[in-house]
Structures are given as structure tokens and as C-alpha cells.
Structure 1
Amino acid sequence: MTRILIAVAMVGMSGPIAEDPGPPPGVGHWVGPLRIGPAELSMVLHVEQGEDGALSATLDSPDQGSFGLEVASISVQGRTLRFEIPTLDARFEGTLSEDGTTLSGTFTQRGQGFPLTMTRTAEEDLPRPVDPPEVLLGIWEGPIELPLGQTLRVALRVEPDEGRPGMRTIAFDSLDQDVRGIPVTAVEVDGETVRFEVKSIGGTFEGTFDEERSSISGTWSQSIMTMPLTLEKVEELSTRVRPQQPEPPFPYGVEELTFENPEAGITLAGTLTIPEGDGPFPAAVMVSGSGPQDRDETLLGHKPFWVIADHLAREGVAVLRFDDRGVGGSGGDFESATSEDFATDALAAVRFLRGRPGVDGEAVGIIGHSEGGIVGPIAATRAPGEVDFLVLLAGTGVTGKEIVLRQADLIVRASGVPESASKAQVDALGRMIALVESGREGGDEEEELRETVAGALDALDPGQREALEETQGGLAEAASRAGDQLRSPWFRFFLSYDPAPTLGAVDCPVLAIFGGKDMQVDPEQNAPRVEAALEEAGDDRSSVEVLPGLNHLFQHAETGAPLEYGGIEETFAPEALARISGWIRGVTGRE
């Protein structure tokens, strides 16, 4: 930390010498817990004052393995301290206590606020990276045994630390979820017993070495679940094969490009794949599902949009896939947008394609997955005659509220939670949604949210309830987080939006396909409503089909639960690919 040196000239002075006022309030090291979702993350703020009097700061998140993140701006006015980190879309505002020992306020990231109280801490007491015992040096891998026979491969990696001679680093990987390098925040070896904690995901492990110390058998605990896990010492991490991942050379053209959405005032970035040979070719715009997605809709090592684009280009159909606004190379703000905003992006892509050389401007459509199946019809009805066909992959036919409640019921049951607890959780979700829909704000609403969460906890057995309360930070914080999520602009729109009237107004042919084992958009709930709406639209080329055995990502699946996605080698079922390309070629006159 920079020291402030004050020199006082004594020559010719007869008055008293001014005392060193010391550093301004806020300078020092501050440590406190930030609870986000199930995780409690330690935050460490280092505030310094330079020789010119200006403040600077860095932020550590030791539980995420992040140290020295530069704070772009920091200020202290009176007892109020503020700082911003634009690279994280984060800011903090808090108040220093009268004695200068605590700093209490709100840490806001991507529009969501979290309470954060930090305590002034001596440098020697700051959190340090974990140094694991030498006996754990190496790679330990194994499957968490999930309910209903599912598995999830994870690994513990203990490796020499190149930056600290004689020390070691330790990290946790969730291999089937394609998440690597999660910091391990505590580790202990006591005789034959091994314990470690991964605070950022609310997970803990306790197990016992075998005689050769080549495996550790025990249990992994996370949220309310405790599951068997045996870690075997291996030479290297195993890998999941993605056999459908396209590899060069490609028998079609590939162009990286940008295009404008003038309505939103943003530039979007994407990739155009266009068949070789004489055009013009029919073309499709890919629109992703919910959450910030890149142009390939990358998930768990799978790149379904790339697989679809590769297949269609080989079948004579050009494809433009693009990063969501605010993602990758695309401008704009994702967090403040709703499905209606995303529809303007999709329509901008369609208009861009209609003017491209080699593209048949009278045969440009949209392929939308999940939420993209909502966005596509909105775009088509906003610009009649401009969208020539729609392919809806697991698109919805009922309101978001109905989707969320059915989805929660199916997924919670598939996770092995007892039926009584499953019903209580779904009922609690329904009450929270109704409360937010009522539009009431303030203390009464928060109290009702707490009571609703308490009711869901009461349905669990004591051990599960205690574990959930520990990882969720108590009723007040759980209710606050639930309210923040439910009140977000995207979720408010999604909850109340009924896609059926829009589907009934489209003026182009539609292919709507569903996976028979989809737990996120249940085909039994949605396919009949989509079919009825398309009958009202009156285009006899439209079709609604349920493909048996496929999940929400259109993979062949055992149960359809989301936990299976990463463990399945297949990215997109060949029969679904064939149906999409065959139908597009048919409705665009290429058959």
C-alpha cells in the first residue's frame, strides 16, 4: 500500500505544527460476504490513496479465484463510498460507520442488488488462496450419482502453483456442464478423511481414501441434495466426444459479418454460411433460447446452432446465426431487453439477408429455439410478408406462467425430491408469481414472499430444510432474490405473454417440432395449443410434430432432465435435422 509522506518546513515558523490527519475514510482493506443465489462469496476491497491524493482500488473475489480486479472509479463523499467496475457491469454504494470499522451498502450487478457489509481488516488477516496437502496432488475424477440413475462427471485438480514455488493450486471442474476451474475454498485431510468446500456453488465433499490412496469414496452435498461420489486418481481428464461438431474444410462459404438494427440503434455480429454453387438460395435466421447466448447457442460443450447451420448449408439453405445483443461481438444491453426487443434483432437479420447476393429474397425465414419460438412469430407479425417461413423448435403455446409452473414440477420430480416437497415448491412458486403479478411493492410484499418461502421449506425434512437455509442465506434473502428475478423486465413480459394469438396471426407456413421428453417446454402442454393456433392462421403447409425420445435440446435422452444434456454426446438428432431441411426445401420450392 502506498505510504503518504508529509514533510513540514520549520524554518521561520513559530506557530504549532499541524498534526498528520491520517488517511481519508475508506482507505484500507475491507472484507465481507456477498450472497448470490446459493453461494456466499467473500469480497475483498483494497482502497489506496496516491501521492496526489486520488483514491484507487482493486477488488478480490477469493472464492471465485479472482484477485486484483481493477476498480474503474472510486470516491468518498462524507461517509458515503462508491465504486464502479464497468467490465462486470457492477457498482457499489455504502456508508462508513462512525468508528470507521464497517462499510455497509448494496453491490449491484447487471441491475440486481445484493446487500454487502464489509469490515476493515488487517493485511495479515486477508483471505489467501488455499494451499492443499501434497497427498492430493494430481487429478481426481468421478461421477456424482444423481437421482433416477443420472450421473454428472466432476473433477478435483491439485497442481503445482507456478507463481508460488513449493505451493499448490486446487480447483473443481463440472465436466459435463463444461465449467472448469471453480476455486476450492477450503480443504482438509485428516488421516484417511478428505473434506473440501466449493463455496461459490454451495457444494461440499467428505470422503475416505482407499488403502492405496488411489480413490476417495464419499458424498457430495449441494443445496438439499446429498449424493454418492467416488473420485479416482487419473492421469488426465476424460473428455466428452461431440461427433457432430463441424470441422473444416467446409463444402460451403463461411463469412463473419455485422449488421445493424436501426430500431434499437445497435450493431449485431454473426456468421453467414451459404451453399456453394448457383444461387439464389433460401435462407434462415437462427434465434436462440432464453438467457444470453452466442451465435452457436453454445451449451455444455454443444454448439447446436452451428450443427444446424452446417447441415442446412449442405442441403442448399443459407443460415445467419448471430450473438445475442450484449453478447460476444454484438452491441446493446441484454439485461434490459424482452422478447419483443429480441424480435427487432431477428427482423433486422431477416432484412439484412433479403438484400444479400446469393440469397433468395423471397425465401427468408426464422428458426427459433425455445424463447426463439416466441420471438420468431412476433417478428413475423410485425412485418407481414417479410418473413417467409418459421421453424419453431420447442416453441411455446401457453403463457410463461404456465410454462414455468409445469417446468418446475417436471424438473423437481426428476431430481428425486419427494412428491410432497415437490408439490410444496411448485405451489410456493405459483404464489410468488401471483404476488408479483398483483403489482404490489414494498414491505407487505416482501413479508408475503418470506412466508411463501417458509411454507416451501416446511415441506422438506429437517436435514433438507437446514441445508437449504444455510445455502440460501435465510428466508429474507431467499425471498428478496426471488422477488428481484420475478420482477425483472424480461420475466414480467414472459410470465404474462400468451403466444397463441400471435401464432394465429402469422401469414407464413410454420413447422413446429417438439421433443417427446422435453421437460422445459412440455409437448403435452404446448403442442395442442400451437396446433390450434396454426389452424386458425389457415396455412395448410404448416405442421406440428412431436419427435419421440428427444429432450429440449433435441438430443436422444433417457429421461429428458436438463442434468443429462452435457453427458449426451449427440448435439442434435439427425431425424430432427432432416425434418427441418426437408420442410424448408419443400415450402421454398426446392424439392
Structure 2
Amino acid sequence: MKKLIITIIILCTVSFANAQDIAGRWQGFLNAGGTNIRLVFNVNKNGDNTYTTTFDSPDQNAFGIKCNSTSVVKDSLTAAVDVAHIVYKGLWDGKDGITGTFKQNSTLLVLNLKRNDLIRPQTPKPPFGYYTEDVEYDNTVKTLHYGATFTRPNGNGKYPAVIIITGSGTQDRDGTLFGHKVYWVLADYLTKNGIAVLRVDDRGAGKSTIGPDGTNVTSESFSYDVETSLNYLESRADVDKKHLGLIGHSEGGIIAPMVAARRKDVSFIVLWGAPAIGGAKINTQQAGQALRQRGVDSASAKAYMDLNDQVLPLFKTSTTKAELDKNIEPIIGNWLKTQSKSTLDGLSLANDTANRQALVGVYANLYTTPWLRFFFTYDPAIDLSKVKCPVLAINGAKDVQVDAESNLTAIKAILTQSGNKDFKVEELPHLNHLLQDAKTGDVSEYEQIQETMSPEALNIISTWIKLHTK
């Protein structure tokens, strides 16, 4: 299972049931060489009765890895993560158990799963005290259908409104993660404070269709989904069209400026854990953090980060996979030659042809994924510098997925240089990427923390929006 480490680390990009149904959170333990590794499969049922799955390996600090395919035929489940050469096949008992096998490359292991759904205290419960409506709408050319929930205060007025833009990975409208309903909790708080909210299923989640492009989409593609949602809000008689805003979480924090740069009807944006320094630098930071969390020594982690920093910029200059392979082979070969045995041992690698080819293959697979290639090459400063509406940028000081200091500093510098006169940058002590009160901020804590979102963070976002929608 050691070969899984580097692949999983690289995939850890800012990355997040029901009547009796196989949809839900399923957990099991994989016995690999005498070590029990906890694995979690999050199976989601879509509006068209198809399924999508994300894969977590909490012991390896890997969360929200998207399965390329999920098949549910009667009581049989099959889910695959192509880039890691993983296939899980299981037989559901119709209740709370799945008996199955986990295969990676040629290794086949038993992996039985138990349902492990979680309930959190901040999850809103009826009566809500405000108006709520499940809505559906299409894009202009009718190639995409969206499912969403609209909430607003009770009454007959026109209300300022926001769209919540989700982070990376296929997420439902509530931002469901380890039983937390992150975006629902935020929407509930804002609506109780006089702000209408539209929260939308991502493509391929809930009642939103995946569209004709399938998985060949990028953050830019998603920005046009947000425009469709913005058009929907403007069609409603109960929305104040002069006060429409966007709240972008994580990846959503680079999507919001894309939309605001194009649309002058966006009157404010909130950037929550936004990766403003760019995806390549974010990925390198995350890789180093994940390796250290696995017990890899600092020198070995730094060595891998240096390699990553050399390779990822080639995604922008290489026009084909073959060209990328040609460009990175000498870099990886030279890197392997120059590392000490202790460094390579720390990374479970060796200076040989097999490891060189394996590393080239990992990066090549990433290159062929349009979303990742865009994320690694896109410069968020381009669109953020065009944003002239008010901006609130907020990060938790203990965010290990999107470093608060470097990204907030970048946002401040970009907005200052571009002449934006109304922005606020705030780093909140003790909070993580989800804005939960945390001890370390590590992703593994998300599941352990009962709080879905800090009341302090909720209040800061709400107060700032109200100030800018008077």
C-alpha cells in the first residue's frame, strides 16, 4: 500500500441519506500488511437516480477524492478511482452493511463497510422561522439542469440575496461533509438575519445534471453555472436586484471573482478560504502538510515539495501529455539521483526506473484531468484584480488546506494594487478551513468536531453583508 501514498497526497487538492438506500457514509478498515487503514466511501444519489462517490482515507489525511465511476445495480456497488488504480466492489445487505473487496493494481483485499452517518447539533431543524423553497431551473441553452434551495425571511418584501459557491469536489447544496451541513448552516444563519440565500447542487449531485461535458469541466465552467443561478435570482420578485452577492468557499473563492469580474450586477463577494496564490502553490503546501502528518520527516517532505514546484509549472507550457512526459522525465530522473537514501526511504521511493516511471505516470494522469490542469495553471490575480465591488476575505488561522497568511496577504496585495476601495481581510484565530473551532486545523479533525461553523465566523459574514446591503 506504500505506492498509494504519493498518489493520494497529490490528489489532496482543496478538497468535500435517506430512506433505505445505499446512499450514505460507509466506513471500513483495510488490513494492509498488519496495519488497519480506515477508509470511507461517501455515496450520493443524484436526481436522475444515478450515484456519485467520494473516497476518504482519514489515516492518510486524504479526503474528498472523487471516484471516476459509481455503479449501483440492485444490491451491488462498484466504485473506481482511476488515477490511484483503485476499484471497490461490494454487496449491500439492504440495511447497514456492505461486504466487499478493495483492489489496487494487482493487490486484492477484503474490505467490509458499515453505515456511519453522522448528525450534528447545528444542522437546522423545522420550524425554520423563514420561507424555504426547493427550486429547479436550466441554463439558457437547456443543456444543464440545476436543483437548489432558496430561503428568505417571511414577508412580502424584496431581500438582498447571496449564492453560496461550493468548494472543490462534487458537493450537494448543503455542503454535506462528515454529517456537517456546512452551507445549510450558513444559509440558515444569514436568512434569519434578513438575507436571502440560494444554495445549489453541483453538477452531478442532487438534482443537478452532469451536463454534456461530463467530467471535462473546470472552475471556469462552474463560473457559468453561477451566472445561471444569478440569472435565476434576478427572475424572482422577492429578490432585491441591487444587492446580489456571492459567497465562495475554497475553490468557490476563485470562482466568485471570475463572475464578479464579468458581471456588474454582483454588488459584493465573500471569499472564504480562497486559494488566491494559485493551485500549484496550494497543492505543494498541501502535499507537504499531508506528508508531515503521515510522519514523513521535514527534509523528505521539503524534497518532494521542491519536485512538485518544478513539475507543476510545466502543466502550463506543455500542450500535450506526450510533451509533458518528455519535459518531466529528466526533472524527475535528476531529482531521484540527487536525493539521499534517507530522503527516498522517507517517501517510500527508490532511485530506479520503476519509481521514475511511476512518478511520471502520476503527473501525466493529473495533466489529463481538465479540472486539475486548470487549477494548477490558472492565476486568480487576473480576475480578482478586475473586481471593483466590496470584498470580504476570511480565513481560519488554523486552515491547513488554504494557508491563511499567504492567501490573505495575496488578496490584500491584489486588491490594493488594483485600486479596490472597499475590502476587508480577516484572519480568525483557532478556526480551520470550514471555520470550525479547531485544535490543530488538520482535516482529520473535521469529523471529530461537533460544531459545524463558528458563531463568530457566522456573525462576521452576516454583519459585513448587512452593512453592504443597506
Please report the TM-score for the alignment, with normalisation by the length of structure 2: 0.72
Q: C-alpha separation between the residues in 2 aligned to 1:459 and 1:245?
A: 50
Q: C-alpha separation between the residues in 2 aligned to 1:36 and 1:424?
A: 15
Which of 376, 391, 395 is residue 514 of structure 1 equivalent to? Answer: 395
Q: 1:424 maps to what in 2?
A: 303
The superposition leaves residues 286-311 of structure 1 with CA deviations (integer Å, 9 ceiling, x where unpaired) of 10111111111211221100000111
Q: Is the 8 A contact 1:420 1:459 kept in 2?
A: no
Task: State the shift of 1:162 in Å.
Answer: 7.2
Q: 1:243 maps to what in 2?
A: 121
Q: C-alpha separation between the residues in 1 aligned to 2:132 and 2:338?
A: 51
SS in 2 for 1:436: helix
Give the residue type in structure 1 aligned to 2:222.
Answer: F
Q: 2:21 maps to what in 1?
A: none
Matches within 5 A, 1:466-477: 476-477=357-358
* CA spacing shift, 1:502–1:560, aligned 2, 3 Å: same
Q: 1:387 maps to what in 2?
A: 266
Task: State the shift of 1:520 in Å.
Answer: 1.2
Which of 326, 335, 344 is residue 444 of structure 1 equivalent to? Answer: 326
Q: 1:406 maps to what in 2?
A: 285
Matches within 5 A, 1:6-21: none
Task: State the shift of 1:347 in Å.
Answer: 1.2
Q: C-alpha separation between the residues in 2 aligned to 1:495 and 1:578?
A: 33
Give the residue type in structure 2 aligned to 1:484.
Answer: N
Q: 1:571 maps to what in 2?
A: 452
SS in 1 for 2:180: coil
Matches within 5 A, 1:224-243: 242-243=120-121
Q: C-alpha separation between the residues in 2 aligned to 1:183 and 1:458?
A: 43
Q: 2:17 maps to what in 1?
A: none
Aligned length: 392
* CA spacing shift, 1:201–1:358, aligned 2, 3 Å: farther
Task: State the shift of 1:555 in Å.
Answer: 0.8
Question: Which has the higher Rg, Structure 1 or Structure 2?
Answer: 1
Q: Is the 8 A contact 2:296 2:347 kept in 1?
A: no
Task: State the shift of 1:204 in Å.
Answer: 12
Q: Is the 8 A contact 2:392 2:424 kept in 1?
A: yes
* CA spacing shift, 1:242–1:431, aligned 2, 3 Å: same
Q: 2:157 maps to what in 1?
A: 279
Q: 2:246 maps to what in 1?
A: 366
Matches within 5 A, 1:282-293: 282-293=160-171
* CA spacing shift, 1:202–1:309, aligned 2, 3 Å: farther
SS in 1 for 2:176: coil
Give the residue type in structure 2 aligned to 1:524.
Answer: E
Q: Is the 8 A contact 1:396 1:530 kept in 2?
A: no
* CA spacing shift, 1:403–1:310, aligned 2, 3 Å: same
Task: State the shift of 1:406 in Å.
Answer: 2.1
Give the residue type in structure 1 aligned to 2:239.
Answer: V
Q: Is the 8 A contact 2:161 2:197 kept in 1?
A: yes
Q: C-alpha separation between the residues in 2 aligned to 1:401 and 1:523?
A: 16
* CA spacing shift, 1:162–1:371, aligned 2, 3 Å: closer
The superposition leaves residues 292-331 of structure 1 with CA deviations (integer Å, 9 ceiling, x where unpaired) of 1111121122110000011111111111011112222112
Q: Is the 8 A contact 1:274 1:313 kept in 2?
A: yes
Q: Which has the higher contact order (CA 8 A, sep 6+)?
A: 2
Which of 174, 187, 193 is residue 315 of structure 1 equivalent to? Answer: 193
Q: C-alpha separation between the residues in 2 aligned to 1:299 and 1:530?
A: 27
* CA spacing shift, 1:129–1:510, aligned 2, 3 Å: closer
* CA spacing shift, 1:258–1:458, aligned 2, 3 Å: farther
Q: Does 1:581 align with 2:462?
A: yes
Which of 402, 406, 422 is residue 541 of structure 1 equivalent to? Answer: 422
* CA spacing shift, 1:541–1:113, aligned 2, 3 Å: closer
Q: Does 1:268 align with 2:268?
A: no
Give the residue type in structure 1 aligned to 2:333.
Answer: E
Q: 2:136 maps to what in 1?
A: 258
Which of 206, 210, 221 is residue 341 of structure 1 equivalent to? Answer: 221
Please report the TM-score for the alignment, with normalisation by the length of structure 1: 0.58
The superposition leaves residues 548-590 of structure 1 with CA deviations (integer Å, 9 ceiling, x where unpaired) of 111111111111111211111111111110011111111000x
The superposition leaves residues 55-89 of structure 1 with CA deviations (integer Å, 9 ceiling, x where unpaired) of xxxxxxxx99x9xxxxxxxxxxxxxxxxxxxx948
* CA spacing shift, 1:450–1:542, aligned 2, 3 Å: closer
Q: Is the 8 A contact 1:367 1:392 kept in 2?
A: yes
Q: C-alpha separation between the residues in 1 aligned to 2:105 and 2:253?
A: 31
Give the residue type in structure 1 aligned to 2:444.
Answer: L
Q: C-alpha separation between the residues in 2 aligned to 1:303 and 1:401?
A: 29
Q: C-alpha separation between the residues in 2 aligned to 1:444 and 1:182?
A: 44
* CA spacing shift, 1:499–1:435, aligned 2, 3 Å: closer
Q: C-alpha separation between the residues in 2 aligned to 1:497 and 1:204?
A: 38
Task: State the shift of 1:516 in Å.
Answer: 0.6
* CA spacing shift, 1:162–1:247, aligned 2, 3 Å: closer
Higher strand share: 1
Q: C-alpha separation between the residues in 1 aligned to 2:373 and 2:227?
A: 23
Q: Is the 8 A contact 1:367 1:376 kept in 2?
A: yes
Task: State the shift of 1:476 in Å.
Answer: 3.4
Q: 1:221 maps to what in 2?
A: none
Higher helix share: 2
Give the residue type in structure 2 aligned to 1:552.
Answer: H
The superposition leaves residues 204-224 of structure 1 with CA deviations (integer Å, 9 ceiling, x where unpaired) of 99xxxxxxxxxxxxxxxxxxx
Identity across matched positions, percent: 37
Task: State the shift of 1:285 in Å.
Answer: 0.4
SS in 2 for 1:562: coil
